[in-house]
Amino acid sequence: DASKVVVGYTGGYIGVFDAFSAVLEGVAGLGEGPRVAWDDLRDAPADVRTQPNKILAHDTLPLTVSVHEDGSLRLLDLRSRSNVLSMQAHNGPATSVSVHPSGLQMLSGGVDGFVRTWDIRQQSMLFESHMHGGKLGEGCAAVSFHPTAPMLASGGADGRVNVLSMVPR
């Protein structure tokens, strides 16, 4: 929905604003349960986990995808205000996420140096590879799917950029 802006806070909250009026419409605290709090800031839940490190909007579904300091990967349905998926994606902070142009897969990276590909429908990991060495407590800093070619890329604190083909050999 192009009329919404999603913002992450260090306290673990995700705020949704109207893009035109800049009015806060709600705050989601992504706890463990299937429902999330969606009220104003005064009523935001106290049991929120850790800060989101990257948030993005799904291109075709009313979802936000986020990765968090506690290593979790989460999908929040903006219409039903429910936590669709919450899983441990990385051992240590998750730093980056990308959604495949098909809308069916996600890519995540973390300070553990791993890059992982996820199936949104099956809510399962498809592929993982340790692609970056740790440097100054960091590993993978950025991940992205190519917009048209079957490729993915990752960049890390080790100064490496990896580009992989997604075509099976």
Domains annotated for the chain, with CATH where assigned, are 89-169 (2.40.10)
Q: What is the pLDDT along the chain (169 residues), one digit of tens a residue?
A: 678 888 888 777 788 888 899 888 877 765 544 444 444 444 444 444 578 899 998 888 888 899 999 999 988 887 776 778 888 999 999 999 999 999 999 999 999 999 999 999 998 999 999 999 866 667 999 999 999 999 999 999 888 999 999 887 7
CA torsion angle 135 137 139 143 (round to 10): -120
Tell me the pTM.
Answer: 0.81
Q: What does the pLDDT read at residue 135?
A: 66
Q: What does the pLDDT read at residue 33?
A: 43
The residues facing 15 across adjacent strands are 7, 27
Q: What does the pLDDT read at residue 165?
A: 93
Q: What does the pLDDT read at residue 38?
A: 44
Q: Which two tokens stand for residue 149?
A: 């070619």
The helix or strand, by DSSP H or E, that contains position 18, with its residue range, turns out to be strand 13-18
Q: Which two tokens stand for residue 86?
A: 């919450």
What is the residue-wise DSSP string for 25-57?
EEEEE--SSSB-EEE-GGG--S---PPEEEEEE
Q: What does the pLDDT read at residue 36?
A: 46
d(CA 136, CA 118): 27
Q: What does the pLDDT read at residue 49?
A: 56
